[in-house]
């Protein structure tokens, strides 16, 4: 029995491991390689009864490997048969089979969409085997796991032309995504023509200037931006373009928050008189739609025009980040809360969304909104887009509402994908390719029945920091490929390296299309390791580690610089620069890491409360790793604590003399990040009895702009404890008022 089992295992394992995967993304559900080969013809002869438009698409598409020509049936290379309506409950509308034998390619599907997906696969196969023109005989049976495989684009913070949006849609199609979430309205710009309200675009589609650089710099370019918007004719053209590629566009009209551009045009829809201007800063703003009848009439009229333009089942109504500051002080809002027996302003948010839902449902459509639409109770038929984490999706699914999973830490493509120092300016998170690839849209908290409510997965691209289309390409590629395979349901994070190999093969296709993709996966990354013999900087690359070269003298490494062999000792302050080379050619960006060594560096640290999952990077050790968080680049050297204090205790190992303690915090009120309220330093020799040696208040922290250096007198102790007090609840008059503030902290040192 045991022997038979072992033998079986060996057989199975050899068939699995000896067969290299094809260069396909997303990888199909089932691939069977057969005997023989098919010779790729210069022109693919077609049978006459193929879905015409889908075939034409590939015939005309620039860079397509599929050159088609009609022929009589007998000598056709490609034949298609439409399957009768599925009785197989295991197969969905997007199912296709693609069989290649020595003479013919046979595609079967239930729908034209299935046929289109099959041609995308065939196009990738032709690419892979174009050199020797021999494709192995094979049979693919394939369909996506998730019905919602989405990619979002914010055209409000920065605008992208119709031609650019079409290119974006083509990228989605290439990797078999099927939803384009078009974020059309926000504080900084209203981007869709609404015939009944011309001022939305006359006034709301431009702004005086834009914020530039990292948010913390608080600087502006002084350049008027806009008017930029899509006319209804342009929208129709884009909708048709997407339909031709079997992509559904889900339009988003933001309410009740993110409404400044609309209020600039129609100030009577706000709680206060205005006047308002489209925002020039990024962030969250207090002036939001006031839930009065006039506002609902306006929104219904807007939605009428939107619904007429977009045939999608879902209309996205935003719902995120709506401060309640104005509603609290508005007589009408307070009256409405009383009249409808609502609990508070969150109840009013729920009232707002439910009223809109009723209207949208009456028109035969459904609403989807960001997870804050759960506040105060979810509208009866609404779907939830879970972005602040996965809890919104879990809560929705448990109450039998559909959910799309797009948690920030896995699915926000405005985050960095490599070392911030070698990347264009981005939003402060860190979401590299392997992180996206590791995402499983089905939360483990759900049972089988609840799982059915997870519609799928989406990535979002917010464009505060993205000014042109080249950078759009950079931010979505190659992460879009990971999203694609996650949504298709064939991702295999355990074998990430294998996936990365297929990504690198796809780079050739992107090169041909002149796409500016991120080369971050070639980058050398560094990790601080600390053990009994000291602290070291370990360099790694997902490529051949023999290709890493580095310097310690501040110069850029070249192909002849020192080859990396083992972790580099970091015993004094220094800068390590590294890069990846292949055949003498620089492939990566140059990574540079500065170390500032103090008496806490590399010691042992414990935190009373852990940072939030999205901003926990290297855990507590991040605070004493010798790497000082950059206030401009943000990134993964900062730990973020939502509504919590930081209480960190550092064990110096032995009694140690020091007279200065330093630490850093951030301020970025637009992102709800506030300076600490106070800080206290304690010392101890037994880790039980602590003596306070210094206390500072908000003013001192503010004056130091978060870079705190404290003279603590001559100390000689084994333990240092530092308590940094969170600002608590965000005060009125600030973005995010009444919500918990973020406290961001890095590097606690002593000298």
Q: Which residues are catalytic?
A: 321
Q: How many other C-beta atoms are found inside a 10 Å radius of the C-beta of residue 341? A: 7
In the complex with ligand ACM, the residue whose CB is nearer, 22 or 155, is 155
What angle, rounded to 10 degrees, do the helices at 345-362 and 293-309 form? 40
In the complex with ligand ACM, the residue whose CB is nearer, 321 or 746, is 321
| DSSP string over 621-683 | GGGGSS-PPBTTTBGGG-EEEES--EEEEEEEEEEEEEEEEEEEE--BGGGTB---SEEEEEE
Site for ligand ACM in 314-353 (CB under 6 A): 320-321
Query: Minimum Å distance from CB 643 to ligand ACM?
Result: 18
Q: Is 290 in the site for Zn ion (CB under 5 A)?
A: yes
Q: Of 294-302, 331-339, 491-499, 596-604, which segment contacts Zn ion by CB under 5 A?
A: 331-339
Partner interacting with residue 135 (select from Zn ion, ligand ACM, none; CB below 5-8 Å by kind): none
**Of positions 116, 215, 370, 522, contacts ligand ACM by CB under 6 A:** 370
Phi and psi at residue 246, to the nearest 5° = 60, 40
Phi and psi at residue 396, to the nearest 5° = -60, -50
Partner interacting with residue 300 (select from ligand ACM, Zn ion, none; CB below 5-8 Å by kind): none
Q: What is the separation of C-alpha 211 from the centre of its chain, rounded to a whole number of angstroms? A: 21
- CB–CB of 646/663 below 8 Å? no
* Partners of 460 in the β-ladder: 412
In the complex with ligand ACM, the residue whose CB is nearer, 384 or 745, is 384
Q: Of 182-190, 327-335, 554-562, 724-732, which segment contacts Zn ion by CB under 5 A?
A: 327-335
Query: Minimum Å distance from CB 295 to Zn ion?
Result: 9
Partner interacting with residue 333 (select from ligand ACM, Zn ion, none; CB below 5-8 Å by kind): Zn ion
- CB–CB of 535/571 below 8 Å? yes
* Partners of 657 in the β-ladder: 716
- Distances in Å between the Cα of 224 and the Cα atoms of 161, 210, 357 are 18, 8, 36
Question: What's the rounded Cα separation, in Å, for the pair 536 and 110?
Answer: 58
Query: Minimum Å distance from CB 162 to ligand ACM?
Result: 24
Query: Minimum Å distance from CB 372 to ligand ACM?
Result: 8
In the complex with ligand ACM, the residue whose CB is nearer, 321 or 725, is 321
Partner interacting with residue 330 (select from ligand ACM, Zn ion, none; CB below 5-8 Å by kind): Zn ion
Q: Sketch the per residue contact string, 225 through 244, with Zn ion: x for CB under 5 A, - otherwise.
A: --------------------
Q: In this structure, what token pair is assigned to residue 332?
A: 């009408």
* Partners of 681 in the β-ladder: 694, 722
Q: How buried is 311 (Cβ within 10 angstroms: 0-12 exposed, 13-18 middle, 19+ buried)?
A: exposed
Partner interacting with residue 666 (select from ligand ACM, Zn ion, none; CB below 5-8 Å by kind): none
Partner interacting with residue 320 (select from ligand ACM, Zn ion, none; CB below 5-8 Å by kind): ligand ACM
Query: Minimum Å distance from CB 418 to ligand ACM?
Result: 22
Query: Minimum Å distance from CB 412 to ligand ACM?
Result: 7
**Of positions 269, 333, 367, 624, contacts Zn ion by CB under 5 A:** 333
176: left (phi over 0), alpha (psi -120 to 50) or beta: left
Question: What's the rounded Cα separation, in Å, for the pair 701 and 698?
Answer: 5
Of 42, 55, 38, 198, nearest in space to 125 by CA: 38
Query: Minimum Å distance from CB 321 to ligand ACM?
Result: 5
In the complex with ligand ACM, the residue whose CB is nearer, 387 or 742, is 387
Q: Is 330 in the site for Zn ion (CB under 5 A)?
A: yes
Q: Is 739 in the site for ligand ACM (CB under 6 A)?
A: no
Q: In this structure, what token pair is assigned to residue 675?
A: 């300076």
Partner interacting with residue 509 (select from ligand ACM, Zn ion, none; CB below 5-8 Å by kind): none
Query: Minimum Å distance from CB 598 to ligand ACM?
Result: 37
Partner interacting with residue 187 (select from ligand ACM, Zn ion, none; CB below 5-8 Å by kind): none
Q: Is 539 in the site for Zn ion (CB under 5 A)?
A: no
Q: Is 271 in the site for Zn ion (CB under 5 A)?
A: yes
Query: Tokens 């691939």 appear where?
Result: 31
Query: Minimum Å distance from CB 508 to ligand ACM?
Result: 34
| Radius of gyration of the chain from its Cα atoms, rounded to whole angstroms | 28
Partner interacting with residue 138 (select from ligand ACM, Zn ion, none; CB below 5-8 Å by kind): none
Omega of the bond prior to 487 within 30 degrees of 0, cis? no
In the complex with ligand ACM, the residue whose CB is nearer, 321 or 625, is 321
Partner interacting with residue 427 (select from Zn ion, ligand ACM, none; CB below 5-8 Å by kind): none
Query: Minimum Å distance from CB 320 to ligand ACM?
Result: 4
Question: What's the rounded Cα separation, in Å, for the pair 252 and 220?
Answer: 27
For 401, the 3-state DSSP assignment is coil
Query: Minimum Å distance from CB 326 to Zn ion?
Result: 6
In the complex with ligand ACM, the residue whose CB is nearer, 319 or 567, is 319
Partner interacting with residue 662 (select from Zn ion, ligand ACM, none; CB below 5-8 Å by kind): none
In the complex with ligand ACM, the residue whose CB is nearer, 387 or 550, is 387
Q: How many other C-beta atoms are found inside a 10 Å radius of the C-beta of residue 183? A: 24
Site for ligand ACM in 475-514 (CB under 6 A): none
Q: Is 269 in the site for Zn ion (CB under 5 A)?
A: no
- CB–CB of 590/525 below 8 Å? no
Q: How many other C-beta atoms are found inside a 10 Å radius of the C-beta of residue 553? A: 8
Question: What's the rounded Cα separation, in Å, for the pair 439 and 443?
Answer: 10
Binding-site size, ligand ACM (CB under 6 A): 4
Site for ligand ACM in 572-631 (CB under 6 A): none
- CB–CB of 243/222 below 8 Å? no
Site for ligand ACM in 527-566 (CB under 6 A): none
- CB–CB of 672/741 below 8 Å? yes
Question: What's the rounded Cα separation, in Å, for the pair 210 and 217?
Answer: 13
In the complex with ligand ACM, the residue whose CB is nearer, 144 or 283, is 283
Partner interacting with residue 128 (select from ligand ACM, Zn ion, none; CB below 5-8 Å by kind): none
Query: Minimum Å distance from CB 75 to ligand ACM?
Result: 54
| DSSP string over 524-588 | -EEEEEEETTEEEEEEE-SS-GGGEEEESBSSPP-TTSEEP-SPEE--SSEEEEEEEEETTEE-S
Question: What's the rounded Cα separation, in Å, for the pair 547 and 524?
Answer: 10
**Of positions 96, 387, 499, 595, contacts ligand ACM by CB under 6 A:** 387
Cα dihedral 295, 298, 302, 303 sign: positive
Q: Is 742 in the site for ligand ACM (CB under 6 A)?
A: no
Question: What's the rounded Cα separation, in Å, for the pair 682 and 387?
Answer: 39
In the complex with ligand ACM, the residue whose CB is nearer, 142 or 186, is 186
- CB–CB of 432/418 below 8 Å? yes
Residues near ligand ACM (CB under 6 A) are: 320-321, 370, 387
Residues near Zn ion (CB under 5 A) are: 271, 290, 330, 332-333
């Amino acid at each position: 029995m045991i022997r038979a089992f072992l033998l079986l295992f060996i057989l199975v394992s050899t068939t699995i491991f000896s067969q290299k995967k094809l260069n396909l993304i997303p990888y199909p559900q089932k691939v069977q390689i057969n005997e023989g080969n098919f010779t790729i013809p210069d022109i693919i002869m077609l049978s006459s009864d193929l879905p015409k438009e889908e075939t034409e698409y590939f015939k005309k598409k620039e860079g397509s490997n599929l050159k088609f020509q009609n022929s009589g049936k007998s000598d056709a290379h490609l034949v298609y048969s439409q399957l009768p309506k599925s009785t197989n409950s295991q197969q969905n509308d997007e199912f296709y089979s693609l069989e290649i034998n020595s003479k013919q390619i046979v595609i079967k599907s239930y729908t034209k969409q299935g046929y289109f997906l099959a041609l995308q696969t065939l196009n990738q196969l032709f690419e892979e085997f174009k050199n020797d023109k021999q494709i192995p005989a094979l049979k693919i049976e394939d369909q996506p796991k998730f019905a919602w495989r989405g990619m979002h684009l914010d055209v409000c913070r920065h605008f992208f032309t119709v031609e650019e949006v079409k290119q974006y849609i083509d990228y989605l199609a290439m990797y078999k995504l099927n939803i384009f979430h078009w974020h059309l309205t926000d504080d900084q710009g209203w981007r869709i023509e609404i015939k009944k309200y011309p001022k939305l675009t006359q006034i709301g589609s431009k702004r005086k200037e834009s914020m530039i650089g990292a948010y913390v710099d608080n600087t502006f370019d002084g350049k008027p931006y806009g008017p930029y918007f899509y006319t209804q004719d342009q929208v129709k053209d884009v909708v048709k373009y997407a339909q031709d590629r079997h992509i559904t566009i889900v339009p988003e009209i933001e309410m009740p928050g993110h409404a400044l551009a609309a209020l600039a045009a129609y100030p009577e829809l706000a709680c206060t008189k205005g006047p308002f201007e489209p925002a020039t800063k990024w962030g969250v703003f207090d002036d939001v739609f006031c839930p009065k009848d006039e506002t609902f009439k306006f929104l219904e009229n807007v939605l009428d025009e939107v619904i007429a333009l977009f045939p999608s089942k879902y209309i996205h109504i935003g719902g995120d980040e709506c401060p309640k500051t104005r509603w609290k002080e508005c007589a009408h809002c307070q009256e409405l809360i009383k009249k409808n027996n609502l609990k508070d302003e969150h109840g009013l948010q729920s009232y707002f969304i439910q009223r809109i839902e009723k209207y949208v449902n009456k028109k035969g459509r459904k609403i989807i909104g960001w997870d804050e639409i759960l506040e105060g109770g979810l509208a009866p038929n609404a779907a939830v887009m879970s972005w602040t984490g996965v809890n919104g999706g879990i809560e929705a699914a448990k109450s039998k509402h559909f959910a799309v999973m797009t948690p920030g830490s896995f699915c926000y493509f405005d985050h960095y994908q490599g070392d911030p120092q070698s990347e264009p300016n981005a939003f402060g998170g860190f979401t590299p390719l392997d992180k996206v690839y590791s995402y499983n849209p089905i939360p483990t908290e759900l049972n089988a029945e609840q799982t059915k409510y997870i519609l799928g997965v989406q990535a979002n691209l917010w464009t505060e920091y993205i000014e042109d289309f080249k950078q759009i390409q950079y931010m979505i590629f190659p992460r879009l490929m990971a999203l694609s395979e996650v949504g298709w349901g064939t991702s295999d994070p355990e074998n990430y390296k294998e996936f990365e190999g297929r990504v690198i093969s796809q780079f050739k296709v992107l090169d041909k299309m002149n796409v500016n993709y991120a080369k971050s996966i070639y980058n050398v990354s560094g990790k601080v390791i600390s053990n009994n013999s000291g602290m070291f900087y370990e360099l790694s690359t997902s490529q051949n580690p023999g290709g890493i070269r580095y310097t310690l003298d501040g110069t850029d490494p070249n192909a002849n610089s020192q080859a990396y062999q083992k972790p580099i000792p970091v015993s004094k302050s220094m800068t390590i620069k590294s890069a990846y080379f292949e055949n003498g050619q620089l492939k990566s960006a140059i990574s540079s890491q500065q170390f500032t060594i103090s008496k806490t560096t590399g010691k042992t640290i414990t935190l009373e409360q852990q940072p939030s999952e999205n901003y926990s990077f290297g855990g507590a050790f991040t605070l004493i790793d010798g790497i000082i968080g950059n206030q401009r680049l943000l990134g993964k050297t900062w730990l973020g604590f939502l509504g919590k204090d930081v209480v960190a205790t550092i064990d110096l190992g032995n009694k140690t003399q020091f007279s200065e303690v330093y630490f850093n915090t951030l301020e970025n009120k637009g992102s709800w990040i506030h300076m600490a309220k106070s800080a206290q330093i304690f010392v101890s020799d037994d880790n039980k009895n602590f003596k306070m040696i210094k206390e500072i208040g908000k003013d001192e922290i503010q004056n130091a702009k978060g870079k705190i250096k404290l003279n603590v007198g001559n100390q000689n102790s084994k333990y240092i404890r530092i308590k940094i007090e969170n600002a608590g609840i965000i005060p009125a008059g600030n973005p995010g008022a009444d919500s918990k503030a973020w406290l961001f902290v890095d590097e606690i040192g002593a000298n």
